[in-house]
Structure 1
Amino acid sequence: MKRILGGLLALPFSVLAAEPLATGAAAAAPVVVAGTGVGAQLTQLVLGLLLVLGLIFALAWLLRRVQQTGARQGGQVIELISSRALGARDRLVLVQVGNEQILLGLTPGRITPLHVLKEPVPVPQGAPAATSEFAKRLMDVLGQQKDKP
């Protein structure tokens, strides 16, 4: 198994090493290089693709790990309490900053504070976190796909 894996990994480099040097009489002699057929090129292409894909997944995993550790260190002082769509691009958002709750109006080009609540709206402890309609529909679709065999 180790020999096969080592041979597959060394294949791209063996093509480079098999190229003859252009010197005197050696350049005139025909050189037959083994393993330069279509199968060897296809193997080299697949291995290169797998290497690039593995590198992408490894970097994505590393980035996710770094972002999670950064989020744990800093405490969240701004929390989204509720969100309501008013139109296609306009929303009302209730956020809590410390002990204050602020009602914000969101439009594509502006965030407008509408009202600072004197008495915060009580939020039940078991209440689900506010999510967008797209996220809810996506979760519904994923839930339906899990139910199907």
Structure 2
Amino acid sequence: MILAVLFTNADGNILVERFHGVPAEERLHWRSFLVKLGADNLKGAKNEELLVASHKSVFVVYTILGDVCIYVVGKDEYDELALAELIFVVTSSVKDVCGKPPTERLFLDHYGKICLCLDEIIWKGMLENTDKDRIRRLMRLKAPTDA
């Protein structure tokens, strides 16, 4: 299951978060852990360079894209390889929506579309769509073709 997808700015402020199957009382712990993980490791990282961690028998894959840090957390079948595929789809979609690696301002200007992207990529903690064209069509609320 995909437990969480988090977007933060460089200062660790949360821009978007999605939790699946994580009790409310544990969410603060995960937020703090991920922000600290990013603060410790993402300084000087290249755009879209993937970093991997493990915590409490779950996997974390995270990266930086422009001025935005992206974290995905998964367990069971969502190991580091599956999460790497997920984060690739998420970063590609964010770049498509924003037109380039986003600044915090650009990210927030496109907040609604980014949230729609996330909804099309992940459904109830499972990876739903990885095809960029299909995600783009679904975001526009058009029925996908079976071509």
TM-score (structure 2 length as normaliser): 0.22
Larger Rg, first or second structure (1 or 2): 1
TM-score (structure 1 length as normaliser): 0.22
Between Structure 1 and Structure 2, the one with more helix by share is: 1
